[in-house]
Amino acid sequence: MTLAEIIASLFPEGHSVTVAEGLVNGEGPFRGGRLAVIGIDGDTALGVDGACRLAGYVLDVVRRGGAAPILVAIDSDSQRMSRRDELLGLNEYLAHLAKTLLLADAHGHPTVGLIYGHSAAGAFIATALATRVLVGLPGANPSVMDLPSVARVTKLPLDRLEAMAKDTPVFAPGLDNMVRTGAVQAVLDPDQPLAEQIAAVIDALPADDTRDRAGRERGGRPVAEAIAAQVVREAAFG
């Protein structure tokens, strides 16, 4: 689905969502209230300027009060790779964006991520992965690094990596692997109205972060949940 199709499916009665320089912002009517939308479109890389603007949009929602959920719609490249972005402290801008989403979520604005295109690395962590629950649409392609680059860095042949990727979902890019890892909760149906599906996702929001449990149940992360739970049980002060 394109962003335009997504927005139309979310807001059949109209909306105020706009896209400027790859940044998405706006809202529309949703279940008697409003649903705020922010995001990145067009496989755009996320740099200091974009992250700062998006964070501002999120803070606008929180400042307005109310209980509007926030949909974070993502079709992005990775973080913008440049001297300028790192010089200016890109890590702080990306972390700040994630923090605004995490704060909004804790302050009455449940956050739902919707990955419908590409996303990678720092951009993915700062947006889609910073929501309370992340869902995807078929064809979405979250990744840490593409396999040819992984082959270059690890000095393993690409065909061997492709074969290994069939046996384990732990390293290769792709939506299904992120579902198995527990990072993506579900894949929505593009042929059904999105508003209802998003509403159902919001109604089923977990109170805590249960991604590691999902990772164990789906086989993508066999040990993470147990390891974290063991630390919780055994950490103590003497």
Residues numbered 174-233 forming contacts with another protein, rule: CB under 8 A:
177-178, 181-183, 209, 211-212, 215, 220-225, 227-232
**Of positions 7, 115, 126, 195, contacts another protein by CB under 8 A:** 126
**Of positions 122, 135, 136, 198, contacts another protein by CB under 8 A:** 122
Is 56 strand, coil or helix?
helix
CA atoms within 13 A on the CB side of 163: 5
**Of positions 20, 32, 167, 191, contacts another protein by CB under 8 A:** 167
Is 197 strand, coil or helix?
helix
Q: Which helix or strand (DSSP H or E) is residue 91 part of?
A: helix 90-106
Window 77-96: contact mask with another protein (x via CB under 8 A)? --x-xxxxxxxxxxxxxxxx
Complex with another protein: residue 31 or 84, whichever CB lies closer: 84
Helix residue spans in 107-170 (DSSP H):
121-126, 147-154, 158-167
User: Which one of 5-13, 67-75, 98-106, 194-202 is the stretch in contact with another protein (CB under 8 A)?
Assistant: 98-106
Residue 146 sits in the site that holds another protein (CB under 8 A): no
Contact present, 212 and 221 (Cβ < 8 Å): yes
Shortest distance, position 66 Cβ to another protein, whole Å: 14
Residue 44 sits in the site that holds another protein (CB under 8 A): no
Shortest distance, position 168 Cβ to another protein, whole Å: 7
Complex with another protein: residue 164 or 200, whichever CB lies closer: 164
Contact present, 94 and 122 (Cβ < 8 Å): yes
Size of the site for another protein (CB under 8 A): 79
Shortest distance, position 195 Cβ to another protein, whole Å: 26
- Please state, as a whole number, how many other Cβ atoms lie within 10 Å of the Cβ of residue 45: 18
Is 13 strand, coil or helix?
coil
Residue 158 sits in the site that holds another protein (CB under 8 A): no
**Of positions 13, 191, 203, 234, contacts another protein by CB under 8 A:** 234
- Sequence-ordered list of residues with C-beta below 8 angstroms from that of 45, at least 6 positions apart, any chain: 76, 77, 78, 79, 80, 81, 123
Shortest distance, position 161 Cβ to another protein, whole Å: 9
Would you state the torsion angle of the CA atoms of residues 65, 127, 211, 197, taken in this order, to the nearest 10 degrees? 70
CA atoms within 13 A on the CB side of 229: 10
**Of positions 22, 26, 43, 49, contacts another protein by CB under 8 A:** 49
